[in-house]
Amino acid sequence: MPLDHYVTLGRSGLRVSPFALGAMTFGEDPGGAGCGVEESEKILATYLDLGGNFVDTANFYTNGHSEKILGDFFAARPGLRSRVVLASKFFGNMFPGDPNGGGAGRGSIIAQLDESLRRLRTDHLDLYWLHNWDRHTPIEETMRTLDDLVRAGKIRYIGFSNTPAWVTAQAQTTASLRGWTPLIALQVEYSLLARTVEGELAPFALDQGMALTPWSPLKNGFLSGKYRRGADVTDSARTAFVGGPSEAEFAVIDEVASIAAALGTTSAAVSLAWLRARRGTVVPILGARRLEHLTANLAEVSLSARELARLDEVSAPSLDYPAPMHGAQRAMLQFAGATVDGEPSTVYPPLLQSDVRY
């Protein structure tokens, strides 16, 4: 897919590529699951050469090495930084024993941002994410601090990641009522094998005009095409941690592979095409430990309505209450057999088409 076919990120004027480049794998400290500086720079350079402009990292990815690799890369290429939408995250505590070294309190946000800017060798971030919900800090404190940093020119836009919908709604409402900087995007786990975001966060984002930037869009590589029933996959360090696909997941993997074979493309390309076809603005984050991982995921695929329906059906999630009450049963109770805004309904059985009124 052409990376220079940009989209606006949520309700903002920020133009980004249809896929972001995730830099979580840049650097080999700690754990050894990432890639070295040379390979990281090859991946980054290729992404940018193809027209990509949206790079995402976090303060504690590979113990700060990810940010440093990015900072050194852009510092060695004057003028390039201004053409890139550079995003990082705060929350992760990199100072053992210091309870204020992480989280979303005022002092910790400012300190984390200063450290990120130092490693990234830049004077501002284009997008700053809350990486996780800090249940020990009032959301008003977090939002006020982020607004202050926007007004100071140190960050340009803000978003939330991995935060409950009710907290996110509280934050957005508070920002709206107080004239503070609003959220423009949510970074969430979302894929054919992880659709529970559709219960609360995805509808909320659609209503508020926020973009979704899914992480792990191939679900730990399960949707990459290398997983088959009975196959022994040994080259994924993360799979060793999370385990292999379940039987229900294999049903989805098989359907994806069937569609990919019929279209002459890869399972990864089909999975990403399905994700980008969801309602609203969806900008998946692609991570890579080797250059070929990135290029293989950029194949352009267009899925038909029938193919999308097949994938929707086989991957249909079980959502928490009250989401199950909001489908056909809601229409039956509310519309009593009528069709409204194109949504048909049946008659609630006790009514039995009766026009009796008491």
Positions marked catalytic: 61
Of 131, 305, 281, the C-alpha closest to 211 is 281
How far apart CA 118 and CA 104 sit, in angstroms, is 19
How far apart CA 2 and CA 185 sit, in angstroms, is 22
Q: Which residues contact 261 (CB under 8 A, 6 or more apart)?
A: none
How far apart CA 263 and CA 303 sit, in angstroms, is 9
Structural tokens at position 122: 């830049």
How far apart CA 61 and CA 66 sit, in angstroms, is 6
Q: Distances in Å between the alpha carbon of 57 and those of 65, 86, 186?
A: 10, 8, 14
Q: Which residues contact 136 (CB under 8 A, 6 or more apart)?
A: 103
Instruction: Find the distance separating the first CA and the last CA of the chain, reported in whole Å.
Output: 61
How far apart CA 25 and CA 20 sit, in angstroms, is 14
How far apart CA 20 and CA 84 sit, in angstroms, is 11
C-alpha angle with apex 165: 161 to 171, nearest 5 degrees?
A: 80
For the chain, where are the alpha helices, taking DSSP H only?
Answer: 37-49, 65-75, 106-120, 139-151, 165-178, 201-208, 237-242, 247-263, 267-276, 291-296, 305-314, 328-335
How far apart CA 287 and CA 227 sit, in angstroms, is 18
